[in-house]
Amino acid sequence: MKKLINAPEKVLSESLDGFAAAHADIVTLGAEKKFVRRKTLKPGKVGLISGGGAGHEPLHAGFVGAGMLDAACPGQIFTSPTPDQIAAAIDAIDTGAGSLLIVKNYEGDVMNFEMAAELANGKVLTVLVDDDVAVEKSTYSTGRRGVAGTLVVEKLVGAAAEEGRTLKELHALAQAVNSRTRSMGVALTSCTVPAAGTPTFTLGDDEMEMGVGIHGEPGRRRVKLESADAIAAELVESIVHDLEPRNGRDCLLLVNGFGGTPLVELYLMVNAATRILRGRGISVSRFLTGNYVTSLEMAGCSITLTELDSEFARLWDAPVHTAALNWR
C-alpha cells in the first residue's frame, strides 16, 4: 500500500486540519472536529446537514458553504459519523428555522442520523437519497443506495434554502429532486482503505464491476472490460429505463469520477453519454464533470441524470461558494 499518510488512525483528523486551513474563508471546524461548519451562518435560514464516511471527498465537507450545506459530519473512512457528531452539528448551525438532514441510504448513516434527530433540540426533518439504480438492496443499505445524486440534492436544496424557504418546503423539494435523479457506476479497479492495507476487492486486468457502489460493494455483475461507448450505453440505458424522463424536459448530466480516473477519460464519457441521450431524444442542458463523490483511489466513474424543470434549472444555476463548487 502506497499512500500519503502518517498513520491510518490519523488520516481523517489530519486531513480535516488541512481542509480547514486551506478553506478558512469558507468553513470552520466544530469542537473535537466533529463536523465542518459554514463559517458565516445566515440568521433565520433552515440549516442543511449531511455527512458520511470519509474517503468520498469532496463529498460532503467540500459542499459546505453559501448555496449548499451548513454543516457536514465526517466519519472515519467508509464509516458513518456517530449520532453525537450529527447532534452537535444540528445544534451548532440552528438559527431558529430548523434543520434538514440529507442522508445517503446506507444502514449506518440512516440509523445514526435518525438517532441524532431524536437527540436534537430544534425541529429536524430527514430526506433519504437513493438514486443508485444498480441494485435494489446491498449489505450496506436497505433499498437503493445513495450515491452521486446526493450532490444534486444538496445543490438544489441549498439554493432554495438561501432564498428563505421553510423546512417543510425544503423537505418536499429534496424528495422531488431525489425522485427525478438516477445514477449508476462502473469500477475498473478497487480501492484500498488505509486501515485495511489491502484492496477491497480484486479485478482482473480485463475485468470491470458494473454497477459498483461507492464503498466498493458489488454491483450487478463482473464482466469483461468494454469500450467507453459500450460502458456508457449500459449505464445510460439503465438510468433512462428507470427514470423515464418526460418528453421535452432537459436534463442535468453529472459524470463523476471515483478518484482514480483522469479528466480526459471523464470528458470522453461525457461525450459518449451525451450522444446516447440525444439519440434517444433527451436534451442535456446542464453538465458537471469531475471527481465529486469518490471512492478513495478507485478507477471508474458514475453517471447521474436529473430531469430538470424550470425551477430545478434555476436552482442549479444559482450562486454557490464552497470548496468544491463555486460559481456566480
CA distances from 300 to 67, 121, 193, 262 (A): 29, 42, 17, 9
How would DSSP label each residue in 95-143?
A: -SS-EEEEEES-HHHHHHHHHHHHH-SS-EEEEEE--B-S-S-BTTBSS
Pairing, β 99-104 against β 65-66: unpaired
- Pairwise CA distance, residues 146 & 132, whole Å: 6
Is 171 designated active site? no
Length of the chain: 328
Q: Which is catalytic among the residues 23, 56, 60, 171?
A: 56
Prior bond of 241 cis (ω within 30°)? no
Is 241 designated active site? no
User: Any idea what DSSP says for residue 318?
Assistant: S
Q: Which is catalytic among the residues 23, 60, 171, 215?
A: 215
Helix (H) or strand (E) holding 239, with range, is helix 228-243
- Pairwise CA distance, residues 45 & 38, whole Å: 13
Pairing, β 300-307 against β 250-257: antiparallel
The residues assigned a catalytic role are 56, 215
